[in-house]
Amino acid sequence: MSRPRVVVAGLGDSGLLTAIHLARHLDVVGVSSKPELVSGQELGMRLTRPDYWAKDYRVSFDRYRRLDRVRRIHGTLTGLDPDAKTVAVELRDGTSHTEPYDVLVISTGVMNGFWRRPTLQTSEEIAADLRAAHERLVAADSVIVVGGGAAAVNSAANLAATWPGKRIDVYFPGERAVVNHHPRVWRRVQQRLTDLGVGLHPGHRAVIPDGFGCDRMTDDPVHWSTGQPPATADAVLWTVGRVRPNTGWLPEELLDEVGFVRVTPELQVPGRPEVFAIGDVAATDLLRTSARNRADRLLARNIRAHLAGRALRPYEPPRGRWGSVLGVQDDGLEVFAPTGQAFRFPRWSVDVVLRDLIVKRGIYKGVRR
Ligand SMILES: Cc1cc2nc3c(=O)[nH]c(=O)nc-3n(C[C@H](O)[C@H](O)[C@H](O)COP(=O)(O)OP(=O)(O)OC[C@H]3O[C@@H](n4cnc5c(N)ncnc54)[C@H](O)[C@@H]3O)c2cc1C
C-alpha cells in the first residue's frame, strides 16, 4: 500500500525541519524556489562574514541525511486547488507541473528587505547576491541602519564589530529598539552597541520614499518624519520590518485580512483539515512565532495524528520574544529568555557543542560535511 503523500510548500527554516521529521514515516515531496537552505536568520553575520554565516545558514539540501528520502522540486509554487488537492509549480524551464497531496504544509515564509526574497534562483545566483551585498558594505566608510528590530541591531553590532573603522549609526522611531523583547534585552543590547561605538538615534522615523520597497541598500539622504535634519552615509540599510507574506499563490479564502495563512491552534487551516501552515507565513499569534519556537516537531506529530485519526495538540506561543539578538560574537553567543534574562555560551562551545552536536545532530538529525 502506498504511503500518504505530504507536500511541503517552501523548504526554508520551518519547511525543511518539518520534512526532516516526516521523511521516515511518509512520502514527502518538498517544493522550493531555492536549491538549498537559505535562511533569513542572522542578517549582520551574513553581510559582514558571509562565509562563516554560510556554514549554518546556507546549506545544500544534499547534505541533510534525512532529506535523502524526500523528493525535491526546484520551482515556484503558483497555485493551489484545495478541492482537487493539488499544487501547481512553475519549473525553471518555464513548464508547469502539478503535484497531488494528501496533506499540504504551507511554509513559504515572508519577504523582507533584500535578504528574504522568494525568487527562483540557482546556487550561483544566490552566491552572487550574497557577495554583492557584502562588497557594497566593504566599500562603504559609513553605514546608516534604519529600523529598531532584531535585524537592525544585529546588523549594526556586526558591522561595528567587523569594521571598527567605519561609522555605523542606527536610527529607530521609539525610545528603545527591540520593542517586542523584554525591556532588559534592550538595556543589554544598548550597552553592547555603545561599547562597539555604534551611534544610537532614538525618536527617528524614516520617510520611506514613494514606491520604494526597502528591498535594496541606498545612498540618498534619509529624511525623517519626526523633524530632524536628513542623515547621510555611503550605504543605507533598510531593516524596517516591512514583511510581506509569500501567499500570492494561495486562494484568498485561506488568508487573513493581511494575507497570512489562517490556522487553528493545531496549525490546521480552518475548514481544510489536510492543509497545515507553519513559520512566518502562519497567523498563529501576533508575532507569528511558530518558526522560532520550533513548532515543526508538533506539526509533524499533528500531521501523523491527523492521518491516523488521533487527537491533535495545540501550539502554545510564548508571551515574549526570545532567542539570540546579536548572534555569535568574539566572546560567544548570548541568548535571551522571554523574561529578558541572558545566557551566554562561550565562543569555544558554539562551534563544537552548539553547531555540531545540538544543531547538526540534534535538530537536523545529521548533516554531511
Ligand atoms: C532552529 C531555529 C532557530 C531560530 N532562532 C531564532 C532566534 O534566535 N531569533 C529569532 O528572532 N528567530 C529565530 N528563528 C526564526 C527565524 O527568525 C524565522 O522566523 C524563520 O527563518 C522563518 O522560517 P520560515 O520557514 O517561516 O521562512 P523561510 O525560512 O523564509 O522559508 C520560506 C521558503 O519558502 C520559499 N518560497 C516562498 N515562496 C515560494 C513559492 N511561491 N514557491 C516556492 N518556494 C517559495 C522561500 O524562498 C524560502 O526558501 C529560528 C528558527 C529556527 C528554525
Work out the percent of the chain whose per-residue pLDDT is above 90: 87
Q: Could you report the per-residue pLDDT of 8-22, keeping only the tens digit for each?
A: 999 999 999 999 999
Q: How far is CA 53 from CA 126, 276, 288, 293, in A?
A: 14, 30, 24, 21
**Distance (Å) from CA 21 to ligand 1 centroid:** 16
Q: Could you report the per-residue pLDDT of 50-93, keeping only the tens digit for each?
A: 999 999 899 999 999 999 999 999 999 999 999 999 999 999 99
For cell 545529521, the residue is 366
Determine the pLDDT at residue 2. 84
Query: In 20-31, which positions are buried (b, 16+ CB within 10 angstroms) versus exposed (e)?
Result: bbbbeebbbbbb
Determine the pLDDT at residue 1. 67
Average pLDDT over residues 169-173: 98
β-partners of residue 37 are 59
Q: Do the beta carbons of residue 92 and residue 71 sit within 8 Å?
A: no
Q: Do the beta carbons of residue 130 and residue 58 sit within 8 Å?
A: yes
**Distance (Å) from CA 223 to ligand 1 centroid:** 31
Q: How far apart are CA 279 and CA 359, in angstroms?
A: 18
Q: Do the beta carbons of residue 327 and residue 333 sit within 8 Å?
A: yes
Determine the pLDDT at residue 165. 97
Determine the pLDDT at residue 194. 98
Atom of ligand 1 nearest to the CA of 324: 8
Task: Please tell me the pTM assigned to this model.
Answer: 0.94
Question: CB-based contacts of 2: which residues, under 8 Å, 6+ apart?
Answer: 27
**Distance (Å) from CA 323 to ligand 1 centroid:** 15
**Distance (Å) from CA 166 to ligand 1 centroid:** 31
Select from 181, 280, 333 the residue to mutate for testing ligand 1; criterion: most ligand atoms less than 8 Å from CB.
280
Average pLDDT over residues 231-246: 96
β-partners of residue 261 are 255, 282
Q: How far apart are CA 185 and CA 118, in angstroms?
A: 31
Q: How far is CA 20 from CA 13, 60, 330, in A?
A: 11, 14, 32
Among 50, 31, 39, residue whose Cα is nearest residue 14: 39
> Binning pLDDT at 50, 70 and 90, where does residue 364 land?
confident
Q: Do the beta carbons of residue 108 and residue 282 sit within 8 Å?
A: no
Low-confidence winner among 3-17, 111-125, 334-348 (lowest mean pLDDT)? 334-348
Average pLDDT over residues 341-347: 92
Q: How far apart are CA 63 and CA 68, in angstroms?
A: 9
Rounded to the nearest integer, the mean pLDDT of the chain is 95
Nearest residue CA, atom 7 of ligand 1? 323
Determine the pLDDT at residue 323. 87
Q: Could you report the per-residue pLDDT of 30-47, keeping only the tens digit for each?
A: 999 999 999 999 999 999
Q: Do the beta carbons of residue 7 and residue 79 sit within 8 Å?
A: no
Burial of 339 (0-12, 13-18, 19+ CB in 10 A): exposed
Residue 49 has pLDDT above 90, yes or no: yes
Q: Do the beta carbons of residue 281 and residue 110 sit within 8 Å?
A: yes
| Protein residues with CB under 6 Å of any ligand 1 atom | 10-15, 17, 31-34, 39-41, 76-77, 107-109, 116, 118, 150, 246, 249, 279-281, 291-292, 323-324, 363
Nearest residue CA, atom 9 of ligand 1? 323
Question: CB-based contacts of 253: which residues, under 8 Å, 6+ apart?
Answer: none
Residue 319 has pLDDT above 80, yes or no: no
Edge-to-edge strand order for the sheet containing 199-201? 199-201, 167-171, 142-146, 235-238
Q: How many residues does the chain have?
A: 369
Q: Do the beta carbons of residue 347 and residue 46 sit within 8 Å?
A: no
Query: In 204-239, which positions are buried (b, 16+ CB within 10 angstroms) versus exposed (e)?
Result: bbbebeeeeebeebbeeebebeeeeeebebbbbbbb
For cell 562588497, the residue is 135
Atom of ligand 1 nearest to the CA of 78: 41
Low-confidence winner among 63-72, 226-235, 332-341, 358-367 (lowest mean pLDDT)? 358-367
Edge-to-edge strand order for the sheet containing 342-345? 323-329, 332-336, 342-345
Determine the pLDDT at residue 322. 82
**Distance (Å) from CA 73 to ligand 1 centroid:** 18
Q: How far apart are CA 150 and CA 76, in angstroms?
A: 29
β-partners of residue 224 are 206
